[in-house]
Structure 1
Amino acid sequence: MASINGDVRNPTEVRMSQMVLPCHANHRGQLSTGQLLKWIDTAACLSAERHAGCPCVTASMDDIYFEQTISVGQVVNLKTKVNRAFNSSMEFSCMQIVERSREGEMNGEVLAQKTRVESVELVLPPHANHQGNTFGGQIMAWMENIATIAASRLCHAHPTLKVIEMFHFRGPSQVGDRLILKAIVNNAFKDSMEVGVCVEAFCHDVGVPRRHINSAFMTFVVLDENNHTCILPRIKPETGDGERRYREAIARRKIRLDRKYVISCNQSEVPLSVPWDPCNQVYLSYNNVSALKMLVSKTDWVLASEINKVHLYTLEDGKFLSFKVEITVSIDARQTFNLLSDMSRRSEWDRYYKECQLLQEVDEDDAIYHVVSTVRSADGKLQDFIILASRRPPCDVGDPYVVAFRSVSLPTHPPCEEYTRGETLCSGFCIWSQGPRTKVSYYNQFTPGIVSQVTTNISGLSSDFATTYQACERFLIENTKDSNQQ
C-alpha cells in the first residue's frame, strides 16, 4: 500500500494518530499506560490481519519501553508492521512518535502535504447500535479528532473547531469494519483554516474493496489568551488535486459567509430608511454621524484580507455584521476630507457608483443625494439609493474627520420602475491625520444588497475592494496635485 506522503510502505503497515484528551489521562494529566496499550493492541491487530487475511488475537507482548510521558493535548502517532510470520503466529513491531505543539510558530508558508494525517479505527460492539451499524456520532468524533490533528500541524498550536460545513454519510459501517480516516488542510485564510476529512471502511476479507462512507469539511481557528483569533500561516497546495481542494475551499467559504450574513440581516425589526423631515433635520443629521462614530469605536474588528496595503476587516456585533476598508495615503487629512465628502465625484474612483445627483443641500455640512449603483439586484435592475451625507470636522485633537451616510426616504423621489431601491443603514469615512500621512477608513454595516459583493472579497474570490481603494488613493493624489498647482 502506498503512503499518503508518497513513500513505499510495508503492505502490513498500519498508522494510527490519536490526540490525548483528558479522558485518556491519569490523575497527573499524562496519558494512561493502559490507554496507550489499547491503541497499540488495536493497531497491531489490524496490521496482523493485513498479513493473515483473517481475524487475529493478541498472544503476548514483550519488550515494551516507555521512554517518556505523554501529556494531554499532545498527539501520538503509532506505526505498526509485521516483522516476521511463523507457522501459527507472527511478530510485529510498534513505534510511537509524539507530536509536541510549538506555540508561536505561525509564520510563513506551510506545504499542504505536511498537514496530512491518516489513522485507523476498529469498530467494536460499544461503537455500534442494536443493529450492528456504527453510531454516526462515533464516526463524527473520530473525524473531528483526525481533523484537529491536521489543523494542529499547520498552526503548531491547539486549534478550536469553529464551523462544520457538512458531515456527509455515504453508507453504513458495521462491527468488525476497519475505518481508514484521512485529513488534510485544504486552505488557510487570514484567521481560519478548512480541513477536509474522508473515511473509508473495509473488512478483513482479502479482495474486498474499501468503501467511501463519510466525508466532512471543518473550519478551525486558533485563539489567544484573550479569546481572539490568531493570524495563521499561508498554505501551499499540492499541484493537481491539492489545487482543486484549495479552490473549492474558497468557494465553500464564500457560500458559508453569504448564508451567515443574509441570516444576520433582520430588516423586519430595524427600518433601514428613515423619512426625511426638514423640521427634524438636526436630529437626523446628528444620529447619522453618531451611528458611524459608534461603529468606529468597536474594538473587535478582525482582519479578513490584505492586498497591496488595502486592509479589509469584518465585525460581528449582535445581529449586525459590518466591514471596514482601510488605506493610508500621503495626503493632507483636510484635503482628503474635502474630496471624499463630495459624493458627486465618487464615481471618478468607485466603480460601484454609476452616477450621483445632488437633490437637496440641507446646510453647509449636510446634503441629500440620489445615487445609482452599478450593482444589480436579483430582478436584474440597477440599484438606486437616497442618501443623507453628513460631514463633520474634528472636535478635538486626535479626533477624525467624519463623513457619514445613511438611507432616507423623500416623498419627491419614491422608488421607480427603472431601478430597485436599495438601502444602507450606516456607512461612511473616518479620516485621521497621522503627521505627513493620513489614514482613511471606510465603514459599512451589512445589508442584503451588498452581501455577495463583500463576501466575494472576504473569501478571496475577488480583489475588487483593493482595486477600488487603490483607485481612491490615485484620485486623492491627482486632485491634490491639481489643487496645489492652481
Structure 2
Amino acid sequence: MESQGLEVDSLKDALFILESGEVYRNPTEVKMSQIVLPCHANHCGELSVGQLLKWMDSTACLSAERHAGCSCITASVDDIHFEHTIGVGQVVNIIAKVNRAFTSSMEVGILVTCEDLYIGKQWKVCHAFATFVARRTEAGKVQLKQVIPHTQLEQVEYSLAAERRRMRLIHAEIITDLLNSSAAQLGECQEHKDAVHAEKTRVESVELVLPPHANHQVSTFGGQIMAWMENVATIAASRLCNAHPTLRSIDMFHFRGPSHIGDRLVLKAIVNNSFKNSMEVGVCAEAYQGGEPLRHINSAFMTFEVLDDNRKPCTLPRIRPEPVDGKRRYQEALARKKIRLDRKYIITSKQTQVPLSVPWDQSNQIYLSYNNVSALKLMAAKNNWVLTSEKNKVSLYTLEENQVLCFKVETYVNIAADQTFHLLADLRRRQEWDRHYEKCEVVIQADEEDTIYRVASPSISKGGKGQDFIMLASRRQPCDAKDPYLIALRSVTLPTHPPTDDYTRGEVLCAGFCIWEESSSVTKITYYNQATPGVLPYISTDIVGLSSSFYSIFSACSDFLEANKSRLGAPPLPTAAPWVLYLFAALVTEACLQLNSIAISRSEAALFFSSRKATCLRLVSSISLSRLTLLCVMAASIRALSRSLCHTTFSRRLSMKLWRAALAPCLRSRDRFTCSEFCFMA
C-alpha cells in the first residue's frame, strides 16, 4: 500500500507560514541521514536491507514517540517495495512523520531516499507505512492526542490513513477467502524437470538477544528482528538460485508478541514458491527462554530477484515443494502473488496508468474500494480549481492537469449531513433528481459499504444509443469531525454483464460526492468527476458556458433532499445491506456451539468463521426478503448468539468481540428503521 501509486508524491506543498512568521514544520517529523560504510554492506558492495530496516524502524519509532510523549512499540509494517539498491559511499536519507493517530495506535509514514554526493543526484528507494502502539502505563491504556494536518499533503495522508487502516484490519481475511475460493482452481503443484527440492532451501538459525540488540524499552529492537529475518531469507533464496539475490519487496507483517533480553530467537526460512523471475521466501521468528515453549514473534514473506549484468531479472529454477505443509505453502504463495498483482496495478500504479475499468472479483474488492475512495480524496484535496460558472449558489469548477480535465459542482443544502449522505448513497434513487440517470439497479452487494450498480443513461443526440455503466460505489462515513461523508464511484467490469447492442458501454475513472457538515442543519455537497470520453458529452456544454444544466440538476437534487428528509425513518432496505451480518451472526451461533465441543486453534477458528461469512455474502446477495422477515431474522440471530455465548467457554474478550460484530451493524443502521422496529430488535 504505497501512496505514491495514488500520486501523493506529486502533491508539493507550498511553504506554510505560521502566525509567528516562522516556516511550518511537522512537529512529529524526524530525519536521519547515514553514509553507507563497508560494515553496512554485503559482499556486492550494496547496503544490507536488514541494516536499512533497522534505520527505518528507529526513525519511525522516534517520530511516534515524539507525538505520543511515551514509549511506543512497532505493531506492524505495510508492504515495502524497494525500487533501487544503495551502494557503499552513498547517503541514505530517511524522513518519518505521524500521518494520523487513532485511539492508542498511529500510522507513521516513512520515506527513504538515496543521495550520491559526487554527482549531486537523489532518488527514491521506498515509501512505507508502519503502525506503532503506545505502551501501556501504570495508569492504563494511553489515549493519543489527535494529529492536526496543516498542509495539503498532510491533509491527504491524514485522510488516506483511515483507508489504509481499514485494509490492514482485513488483510488476513482476504488471504483466507482467496485460498478458500481458489482451492480448486490452484490445483496440484506442477512437476518441473530439474526442479529444486524445497527442503534444500530450508534455513534455521538461532540468535541470543543481548543488550546491544535491545531498544531503550529493554525489549528486542523490532528493526533488529527484521534484520535477522532478512538475513536467513537471503540465505534460503541463495540456495535456490546459487547466486546473490536482491530483495524486492516485503509483504505486510505484524509483530505477534514481544521479545526481551535473554531470549533465544529461532529464525526459520524456506522458499515457498518460485515463479519465472522471482521467488517468495517465508520466514518465521520464534522465541523462548530456558525450557519454556516457543513463542511466535513474527512471520514475513519476502520476494527476491536475481539480476544479471544489465540489472534485469534472470529466469529462476522451479521449486519442488515438500508433501503436505510444503504444498500448502506453495499454493498460499500463488494466492499472495495474485494479491501483489492486484495491489500493483490497482493501488500502486499512478491514476493515469490504471485502466478505466478494472475487472472486479471478491479477492480484489478491498483494493478496488481503496483505490476508489483514495482517488476521490486526492481529487478533493487539490486546491487550484478554477471557477467556471455560478448560479444561485451552485458553482461549477474545472481543473486541467496533465491533459486530464476534472470538474466539480458545489452547493449548500439546509439538511443534516448524515441525512444527506443516506439519501445520496443509494444510487437507485438518483434518477429521481438526475436526468442523466435513466435507470439504476444493484448488480452485486459486495459488502456493507460497497455496491456494484448498472446505470443506464439516455442518449445525448436524437436517435443515438444510450450509454450504460457498471460502477462500484464505495460509501464511507467520517472517522472523526475532520472527515467528510464520501460516496466514491468508478467503473469496473463483470463477466456477467458484458456490453450489449442496446447501449454503448461508458466508463468512469473517478467520480463521487464529498459531504461536509457545516453546522447541524447546513451541509456542503461537492460532486467531483474526472472527465472521460463517456462522461464529457454530458457536461461539455456547461464547461464552455453554452448551458447551465448542472444548475438545474443540482437544484433538483436540493429539492429531492428537502422532500425526503422527513422519510428517513424507514426507507427500503437494499437487497443485501447491513442485515447480512445478522445472518452471519446466526452462523456464528452455530459455530460457537460446534467449536466449543472440539479442540481447535485460534487460526483454524478464524478460518472457519471467514468461510461462513463468505458463503453468507454470496448466498444472501440474491435473496429478497420482506421487512418483517428481516426484523425477525435479526432479532432471532441476536437472541441465539446471546444464548450460545452463555453455554461456551470462550474468554470474555472473545465473547465481547462476537457481540460487537453482531451489534455494530444494528447501531450503524438505526436510521433505516422506525423507533418501534428498532426496539423490537433490541
TM-score by length of 1: 0.44
Higher RCO, 1 vs 2 (CA within 8 Å, ≥6 residues apart): 1
Q: Which has the higher helix share?
A: 2
For the pair shown, which has the larger CA radius of gyration, 1 or 2?
1
TM score, norm. by length of structure 2: 0.31
Which has more strand, going by share of residues? 1
